[in-house]
Copies of this chain bind each other. A is one copy, B any other.
Amino acid sequence: MTSPTATLLVSCPDQRGLVAKLANFIYSHNGNIIHADHHTDFAAGLFLSRLEWQLEGFDLARQEIAPAFAEIAEPLQATWELHFSDAVPRIAIWVSRQDHCLLDLIWRQRAKEFSAEIPLIVSNHRNLKGVAEQFGADFYHIPITKENKVAQEGKQLELLRQYKIDLVVLAKYMQIVTADFIAHFPRIVNIHHSFLPAFAGANPYERAYERGVKIIGATAHYATPELDAGPIIEQDVVRVSHRDEVGDLIRKGKDLERVVLARAVRLHLQNRVLVYGNKTVVFG
């Protein structure tokens, strides 16, 4: 399906006729729906939907779609987003010393597993500068201390504006991002190296080893002010045994981290993730 598409992500109070109204909006303008998924959270009384249709043959120009849909959405009290598949989102990757998630994301972007530009890499350490340069991304070393955190986050936010960044990926950044930062820039995907909510916070592999678990995991989630408590996008696990020492958990965990983070980033970039409350609907 190489022709460009539009995608609507919609959530609104549940009521009769929602699927019909959404589908009619597209059909009445001669759109060809290629994916339509809906979910009703009965406990929350909420209808959540993702519709993707081909722009070819659609009788509204791109800039006319949002205003036209707003008229549908308003009486439904819907919150919604509109995306075009040929827009190329711009990602900034925040790293610390470890390179596995960074290299993995860059490889996937170059292998066209997702469509995005990666113009900006920020780190509190210098050691991955060479990787950034090799792949043509600008690298900023912004070391964080307790004292300078507010100022440094200001610099980071300025970079996000300057580079027109759509999504920040915390690819083993190992630093807490403040509530203030998130309030200014909420589109942040983080990878945490545990099967949340187990082992939130620091040193999850050490704690998993101490606890003697038989399975370890990794969790990709949107960052929220509360540490490691944001809406979960994706998780996966791998079996471990008494023979695995902390170093083995770290090694096995790295494979989880990069796969789980990559899946989450891809799902986000394909506009398949709809957040409501502290949860996500992930449209497959």
Contact = CB atoms under 8 A, between A and B. Distances in A.
Interface residues of A, number: 64
A72 to B, nearest CB: 13
A32 B15 CA distance: 7
A55 to B, nearest CB: 13
Interface stretch (A119-127, A171-179, A183-191, A276-284): A276-284
Given A19-B19, A20-B24, A31-B16, A43 B235 contact: no
B197 A241 contact: no
Contact of A215 (B40, B195, B212, B278): B195
A32 B20 CA distance: 10
Contacts of A36: 19, 36, 38
A37 interface: yes
Contacts of A41: 242
A68 to B, nearest CB: 16
Given A100-B111, A243-B284, A232 B211 contact: yes
A164 interface: no
B16 A27 contact: yes
Contact of A19 (B33, B239, B255): B33
A245 B280 contact: no
Contacts of A284: 241, 243, 284
A237 interface: yes
B23 A34 contact: no
Contact of A195 (B20, B37, B195): B195
B196 A42 contact: no
A215 B217 CA distance: 10
A236 interface: yes
Nearest to A38: B36
A60 B14 CA distance: 22
A231 interface: yes
Contact of A281 (B16, B27, B113, B242): B242
Q: Find the residue from A20, A211, A239 having the highest chain B CB count within 10 A.
A: A20
A12 to B, nearest CB: 14
Q: Find the residue from A17, A35, A212 having the highest chain B CB count within 10 A.
A: A212
Interface in A175-209: 195-199
Interface string A96-110: 000010010001000
A213 B198 CA distance: 11
A155 interface: no
Given A19-B23, A42-B245, A241-B282, 7 more contacts: A16-B33, A16-B57, A19-B36, A20-B20, A39-B242, A213-B235, A215-B217
